[in-house]
Structure 1
Amino acid sequence: MRKIFIFIVAIFFAACGGEDKVPIEVSISERYNPILHRNVKYLNITSLVDSVKITNIIPNRGKCKVGGVLDKNGIKIDKTLSYSQTWDYIPLSNCNKILEVKVETDHGDWTFSFN
C-alpha cells in the first residue's frame, strides 16, 4: 500500500512540477538485524533516473537519528544510484514512527511523508 501511495505522489509531483521530476522512490521496511538482535527500520531508496547522488537524509525533521558513523562524526552521505538501483539505508534509531523523510540529492531536496 505504501509503495502505491509513494508512486501516486511521485506521479503527482511529476505532473505538477514540470521539469522537476522526483528522482527517487523512498519506502520503509523493518527486518531483523543479527548484530543488534532485534528488528530495525531501514529506508529503501530507489533511483527513478539514470543517476542521482544522495547527499543527506533527515528523518522526522531531524527529530530522529540515522544509525552508525553518520551520527557520531557528522559525515555527509555521498551515495550515487543508477536507474532502478535500490539502496537499503542504515537502520534508523530513536524512531518509534517515521512520519517524514527529507532526502537531499543533486536533483534537489525531496520530502516523503508516511502515515
Structure 2
Amino acid sequence: MKYKMLLVLAILLLCACEDEDPEIRIETQNRVNQFINLPYASVSVYALVDDIEIKNIIVNRGNCRMENQRFKGLNNGMTKIPKRLKYGEVVTLDFSGPCKASMVEVVTSSGSWSQSYK
C-alpha cells in the first residue's frame, strides 16, 4: 500500500514540473557583411510580458562578441544594456564576425532562456 501511495505521489510531482513559458522570443539571423565577406549574427529579443529587463545576450557561450554594447531599439535610438522592455517591444543586437550563431542565451530579470540552432 505504501508503495502505491509513493508511486502516485511521484507521478503527481513529475506532472507538476512543467517548463515555464518563456517571457521572451529569440530570433537569430546569420548574415554576411557584403563589404568584407565576413559572417556575423544578428539577435532580436521580443518581450512576451508586460515588463522585463534584458541584462545580457550571449552567443556561442561567449565566443561571439557584441559589435558594441548597445541595442538598436525603438525609433532607431541607441540604448545601453541592460534594456527594459514592455510587451511587444523588440531589441536587436549584432555580434561581430566571424560568427555564426549555434546557441543564444538571453539573461533577463526573470531568469535565462536559451535557444540552439543546427
Q: Indicate the TM-score class for this superposition, using the shorter chain for normalisation.
A: 0.5 to 0.7
Larger Rg, first or second structure (1 or 2):
2
Following the alignment from structure 1 to structure 2, what is the Cα–Cα distance between the partners of residues 47 and 66?
20
Cα drift, residue 32 of structure 1: 8.0
The aligned runs of 1:3-42 (5 Å cut-off) are 16-17=18-19, 20-29=20-29, 37=35, 40-42=40-42
Cα drift, residue 96 of structure 1: 3.2
Quote the RMSD (CA, aligned, Å). Answer: 2.6
Of 86, 90, 94, 2:90 maps to 86
Following the alignment from structure 1 to structure 2, what is the Cα–Cα distance between the partners of residues 92 and 55?
16
Identical columns (%): 30
The aligned runs of 1:1-115 (5 Å cut-off) are 16-17=18-19, 20-29=20-29, 37=35, 40-69=40-69, 77-89=81-93, 91-115=94-118
Can you give the 5+ residue segments of structure 1 that lack an aligned partner in the other structure? 1-14, 71-75
TM score, norm. by length of structure 2? 0.64
Can you give the 5+ residue segments of structure 2 that lack an aligned partner in the other structure? 1-16, 71-79
How many residue pairs get matched? 91
Name the SS for the 2:61 alignment partner: helix
